Amino acid sequence: MMATSKKILEQEPSDIELLLPWHATGTLNARDARRVDEALSCDPELAKQYAAIQEEYAGTIHLNESLGAPSARAMQKLFAAIDGEPARHGSLRLSLSTRIVGFFASLSPRTLAWSASLGALALLLQAGLIGAVLVKNQPASFQTASLSMNEPPITRALGPEAPPRALVRFAPEARVAEITALLDLYQGSIVDGAKGGLFRLQFGNKAMTKDEVAALMSKLQSEKIVSLAVATP
Amino acid sequence: MQVLYGRHHVRVFRFGLRLVRDEQIAEDLISEVFLDVWRQAGKFEGRSAVSTWLLAITRFKALSALRRRKDVELDDEAANAIEDKSDDPEVAVQKKDTSEALRRCLTALSPDHREIVDLVYYHEKSVEEVAEIVGIPENTVKTRLFYARKKLAELLKAAGVERGWP
């Protein structure tokens, strides 16, 4: 064991080894993903390293999700600054709006990559509508001039009233029927996944206290078909 | 702009916060980043995802803010993130929790390593996108993450967590 670790530490990493993190996050191209899959299936040391990477992946998501969201102050500051910018003439406004539509056309959120392409199409349509409204409804200056500071901050979607969520990895031998039964038992629903084998689940429709969430995670973790359960805000 | 802001500001904030480690500065970064986007929308050519463009601007702004602050205590802060052997019982129990230890060690990584770990694992950026955001060659992206992971393993080992790798 020591010899193996030492050997790994002294060696330059192999090409495949370097690609493992991107394989876990699902951002490799098909060719590289196939190469990594093949290597993982016949190299136990590599598989061990991959398991460590999946823990790092879950841990990094957990850490970042726990950072919360900015206050409304940041948004107020931004739109006050935009209001203070010199007025732009019509053609530039149109150009900007077109650009914003372009932004959305180029969006390819990884979180939607697994789902049906219909979802992406709906997003683009929505973006197009928003862009059109921006162009149509702007009389003289940018829309943000009418921003109401009394609006509730849109940054608090992860507030305490939300039902608990968790990143869950099921055991490789878990069958669909078992997963379905577990979801029923815990009133769970899959809200995102499976990236690197991790599913984002939501439990029930009511908020829970910190202790309740901890108990839920502990219970989940003890399930035979669950290999990892990490609470996320 | 409100829609664009609503969609991306939380991730911009979290990326900035992990770099500057100061909520106030991270919030200021958000408005600076999106103001730049508003001013430079015409320069966006759509060759990369909007989120990649935003993260690259955020990184640039964060590094500028750090240079302005010249916070020499950052490294000390990182070094102190791992407790020594004289922890009280409560901390010792805490260390047994692998995920908590992992979290603490992720926080204790150097800025370069934190940045690349976050971009790959949290922002789920490809090798090419990370290279674009950080401004380094793709091979350097791969090796930098490898050594960040090795450093993380060392920190975990120092915190009493063995994971079987390396």
Residue found under tokens 């990884």: A110
Does pLDDT of A106 surpass 80?
no
With CA atoms as reference, the chain B residue closest to A4 would be: B166
With CA atoms as reference, the chain B residue closest to A110 would be: B124
Mean pLDDT computed over B63-67: 90
User: Is A128 a member of any domain?
Assistant: yes
User: Is A130 a member of any domain?
Assistant: yes
With CA atoms as reference, the chain B residue closest to A154 would be: B6
User: Is A104 a member of any domain?
Assistant: yes
Domain count of the fold of chain A: 3
Integer CA distances (angstroms), A116 to A109, A122, A132, in order: 13, 10, 25
Q: How far does B143 lie from chain A, in Å, by closest CA?
A: 7
Does pLDDT of A153 surpass 60?
no
Say if residue A51 is preceded by a cis peptide, omega within 30 of 0.
no
Whether residue A225 sits in one domain with residue A173 = yes
Q: How confident is the prediction for chain A on average, in pLDDT? A: 72
Whether residue A225 sits in one domain with residue A188 = yes
DSSP, res B8:
H
Whether residue A169 sits in one domain with residue A228 = yes
What's the CATH number where A191 sits? Answer: 3.30.70.260
Whether residue A228 sits in one domain with residue A169 = yes
User: Is A148 a member of any domain?
Assistant: no
Q: Choose between B85 and A66: higher pLDDT.
A: A66
Summarize pLDDT for B99-136 with one digit per residue, the tens: 888 999 999 999 999 999 999 999 999 999 999 999 99
Question: What's the domain range around A106?
Answer: 88-140
- Phi, psi torsion values for A231, nearest 5 degrees: -70, 140
Whether residue A226 sits in one domain with residue A172 = yes
Q: Which helix (H) or strand (E) holds A202?
A: strand A198-203
- Which residue, among B90, B85, B88, has the nearest Cα to B159 in the 3D structure? B85
Whether residue A169 sits in one domain with residue A118 = no
Whether residue A221 sits in one domain with residue A176 = yes
> Which value does ipTM take for this structure?
0.82
Whether residue A210 sits in one domain with residue A171 = yes
User: Is A78 a member of any domain?
Assistant: no
Which range among A68-72, A165-169, A216-220, B143-147 has the greatest average pLDDT?
A: B143-147
Q: pLDDT at position A176, please?
A: 76
Q: State whether B51 and A109 contact (CB < 8 Å).
A: yes
Distance of CA B142 to the CA centre of its chain: 16
> Which residues of chain A does B145 touch, with a Cβ-Cβ cutoff of 8 Å?
18, 21
Q: How many residues does chain A have?
A: 233
User: Is A7 a member of any domain?
Assistant: no
Chain B CB within 8 Å of residue A98 CB? no
Q: Choose between B119 and B91: higher pLDDT.
A: B119
Q: Choose between A169 and A51: higher pLDDT.
A: A51
Q: How many CB atoms lie within 10 A of CB A96?
A: 20
Q: pLDDT at position B29, please?
A: 93
- Phi, psi torsion values for B64, nearest 5 degrees: -65, -40
Domains of chain B, earliest start first: 1-71 (1.10.1740.10), 75-160 (1.10.10.10)
Does pLDDT of A82 surpass 60?
yes
Whether residue A218 sits in one domain with residue A169 = yes
User: Is A53 a member of any domain?
Assistant: yes
Does pLDDT of A230 surpass 70?
yes
